[in-house]
C-alpha cells in the first residue's frame, strides 16, 4: 500500500507519468493519470469489494442529486443543492473513516451520508420536511442529520461546523477514545472566522481531526481568486502547525489515500491535518442559482472530461472489475431504489403543530407550554376557514 506522503514526495520523479495536459493545479497529489490509468508502482491496490462499494456510492450520489434537482423543477420540493462533480471527495473521505468516527459536513456532502448508511427514504423525508423526517421538518432542506450514524446536523452558516468538529475531537482526546472527527467546508468557508478558530484550536490542542476543504472554485458566484490572497488553501496549514496536502478531488484513489493517512495519524495521536481537495462545482450552487451567468465555460468544459465517476469507472474497467452490463444493471437498480423511496416519502403527512414544541427540552418549559396552547388554539380557529384560500398560519 502506498501512502499519500510517499507518492507526493515521489511526485517530482514521477512527473512524466501523469504530465498529460490537465486543468488541475500541478501541486496536487494524484494517483490516477489523466487517461485514468494508474502506474503499477502507484496503484494502491485497494480491496475489490471496497472499490466496488465506493463506485456504487458515487453512482448513487449522482443519481440522487439528479432526481433531487428534477423533483425541485417539477415543483414537488422547494429547494435542492446538488453536488455534481464532487462525488469522489464525498465517497473517498467517507470510506477512510471508521464507524466510531464523527463527521461534520456541509450541505454538499450527500455521498458521505449515503456511504455511512443513511437511507434514501429518510434523506428524501428531509427534502419534504415531513413528519417522517428525522428532524420532523425542523431543519432546512438538504441539511440532513443522523446522530445514530455520527453525522452531525448540517449547519447553514458556513464553516461553523469546523469548530464543532474540533470540539468533538478535543473531547475524544480528553476521554482517551480512539475517535476522529472529520469536517468539511468550501473555499468560501475558509474566509470565515470559524475556519481560522478551528484550525488554531486544532493545531494548538493537537486535536484528532481532519479538515477537508473542497475547493470547487466558486462560493456561489464568487470565484476562488477573490476569496483569499493565497494561491492555495493548503498553504494555510503551515501557519496553524499541521500537515497539509492538496489533492486531485476528481481522483477517488488519491482522495481516499490522503484522507486515510490523515485519519490514521489523527487516531494515533499525531494531531490534525488539512486536506485541500481541488475540483470544480459542476452544477449550480443550488436549485435557486443560474451558474451560466458567471461561470467560466471553458473551465467547465475542461473539467467535464475529468468527471470523477467516469474516471473511476474506466479504472475499474481496466482492472476487469466493471463492464457495460454491470453498469446498466447498476443504473436500473439505483433508479428503482430512488423511485421506491420517493413513492414512500412523498405521501408522508406534514409535521403537526405540536412538533414545533416537542423534543426541545426533556420537560417542556412553562413559557413553551403557554406558547403551544396559544398556537394550537389559533390553529383550531384557522381550521374553521379550511376551505377558503387563506393560508395555514405557518
Using CB under 6 A as the binding rule, whether residue 189 contacts ligand TPP is answered as: yes
Residues touching ligand TPP, count (CB under 6 A):
17
- Per CB under 6 A, the list member of 158, 253, 275, 277 interacting with ligand TPP is 158
Using CB under 6 A as the binding rule, whether residue 184 contacts ligand TPP is answered as: no
240 as an active site residue: the answer is no
Catalytic position from the list 42, 285, 311, 313: 285
**Binding window for ligand TPP (CB under 6 A); candidates: 56-64, 113-121, 156-164, 259-267:** 156-164
**Binding window for ligand TPP (CB under 6 A); candidates: 7-15, 69-77, 115-123, 150-158:** 150-158
Q: Are 192 and 159 in contact (CB under 8 A)?
A: yes
What totals of helices (H) and strands (E) does the chain contain, helices first? 12, 7
**Binding window for ligand TPP (CB under 6 A); candidates: 72-80, 188-196, 320-328, 378-386:** 188-196
End-to-end CA gap in the chain: 56
Between 64 and 218, CB nearer to ligand TPP: 218
56 as an active site residue: the answer is no
Residues 84-123 that bind ligand TPP (CB under 6 A): 106, 108
**Binding window for ligand TPP (CB under 6 A); candidates: 186-194, 197-205, 242-250, 251-259:** 186-194
Using CB under 6 A as the binding rule, whether residue 187 contacts ligand TPP is answered as: yes
Beta 222-223 vs 218-219: how paired, if at all?
antiparallel
Query: Which x/- pattern, by CB under 6 A, does the window 211-250 give for ligand TPP?
Result: -----x-xxx------------------------------
Q: How far is CA 329 from CA 75, 85, 150, 335, in A?
A: 30, 22, 32, 10
Least separation in angstroms between CB 370 and ligand TPP: 33
Residues 269-328 that bind ligand TPP (CB under 6 A): 281, 285
Q: Are 202 and 261 in contact (CB under 8 A)?
A: no
Using CB under 6 A as the binding rule, whether residue 150 contacts ligand TPP is answered as: no
Cell numbers given for 375: 398556537
Q: How far is CA 125 from CA 113, 149, 167, 208, 386, in A?
A: 14, 17, 29, 33, 25
Using CB under 6 A as the binding rule, whether residue 251 contacts ligand TPP is answered as: no
- Listing DSSP states for 12-80 in one string gives TGGGGGG-S--SS-TT-B-SS-TTS---GGG-----HHHHHHHHHHHHHHHHHHHHHHHHHHTTSSS--
Using CB under 6 A as the binding rule, whether residue 68 contacts ligand TPP is answered as: no
143 as an active site residue: the answer is no
Distance CA(256)–CA(182), nearest Å, equals 13
**What residues contact 113, with CB distance under 8 A and at least 6 apart?**
105, 123, 144, 146, 149, 151
Between 194 and 261, CB nearer to ligand TPP: 194
Between 158 and 242, CB nearer to ligand TPP: 158
Q: How far is CA 103 from CA 12, 106, 119, 188, 210, in A?
A: 34, 10, 17, 20, 10
Interface ranges with ligand TPP (CB under 6 A) = 106, 108, 156-158, 185-189, 192, 216, 218-220, 281, 285
Residues annotated as part of the active site: 281, 285, 294
Amino acid at each position: 500500500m502506498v501512502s499519500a506522503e510517499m507518492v507526493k514526495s515521489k511526485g517530482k520523479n514521477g512527473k512524466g507519468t501523469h504530465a498529460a495536459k490537465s486543468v488541475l493545479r500541478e501541486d496536487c497529489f494524484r494517483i490516477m493519470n489523466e487517461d485514468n490509468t494508474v502506474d503499477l508502482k502507484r496503484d494502491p491496490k485497494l480491496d475489490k469489494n471496497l472499490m466496488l462499494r465506493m463506485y456504487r456510492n458515487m453512482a448513487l450520489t449522482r443519481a440522487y442529486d439528479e432526481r433531487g434537482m428534477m423533483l425541485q423543477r417539477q415543483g414537488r420540493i422547494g429547494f435542492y443543492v446538488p453536488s455534481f462533480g464532487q462525488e469522489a471527495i464525498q465517497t473517498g473521505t467517507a470510506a477512510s473513516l471508521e464507524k466510531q468516527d464523527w463527521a461534520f459536513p456541509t450541505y454538499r456532502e450527500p455521498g458521505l451520508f449515503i456511504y455511512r448508511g443513511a437511507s434514501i427514504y429518510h434523506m428524501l423525508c428531509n427534502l419534504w420536511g415531513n413528519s417522517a423526517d428525522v428532524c420532523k421538518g425542523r431543519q432546512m432542506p438538504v441539511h440532513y442529520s443522523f446522530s445514530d450514524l455520527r453525522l452531525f446536523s448540517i449547519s447553514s452558516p458556513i464553516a461553523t461546523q469546523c469548530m464543532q468538529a474540533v470540539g468533538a475531537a478535543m473531547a475524544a482526546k480528553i476521554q482517551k477514545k480512539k475517535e476522529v472527527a472529520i469536517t468539511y467546508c468550501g473555499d468560501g468557508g475558509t474566509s470565515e472566522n470559524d475556519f481560522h478558530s478551528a484550525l488554531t484550536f486544532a493545531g494548538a490542542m493537537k486535536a484528532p481531526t481532519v479538515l477537508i476543504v473542497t475547493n470547487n472554485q466558486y462560493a456561489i458566484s464568487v470565484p476562488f481568486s477573490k476569496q483569499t490572497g493565497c494561491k492555495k488553501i493548503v498553504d494555510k496549514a503551515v501557519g496553524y502547525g499541521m500537515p497539509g496536502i492538496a489533492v486531485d478531488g476528481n481522483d477517488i484513489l488519491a482522495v481516499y489515500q490522503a484522507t486515510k493517512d490523515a485519519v490514521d495519524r489523527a487516531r494515533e495521536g499525531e494531531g490534525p491535518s488539512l486536506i485541500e481537495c481541488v475540483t470544480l462545482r459542476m452544477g449550480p450552487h443550488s436549485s435557486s442559482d443560474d451558474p451560466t451567468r458567471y461561470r467560466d465555460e471553458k473551465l467547465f468544459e475542461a473539467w467535464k472530461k475529468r468527471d470523477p465517476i467516469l474516471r473511476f469507472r474506466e479504472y475499474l474497467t481496466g482492472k476487469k472489475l466493471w463492464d457495460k452490463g454491470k453498469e446498466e444493471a447498476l443504473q436500473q437498480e439505483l433508479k428503482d431504489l430512488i423511485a421506491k423511496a420517493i413513492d414512500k416519502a412523498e405521501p408522508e403527512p406534514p409535521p403537526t403543530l405540536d412538533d414545533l414544541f416537542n423534543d426541545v427540552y426533556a420537560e417542556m418549559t412553562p413559557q413553551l407550554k403557554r406558547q403551544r396552547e396559544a398556537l394550537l388554539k389559533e390553529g383550531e380557529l384557522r381550521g374553521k376557514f379550511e376551505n377558503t384560500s387563506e393560508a395555514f398560519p405557518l
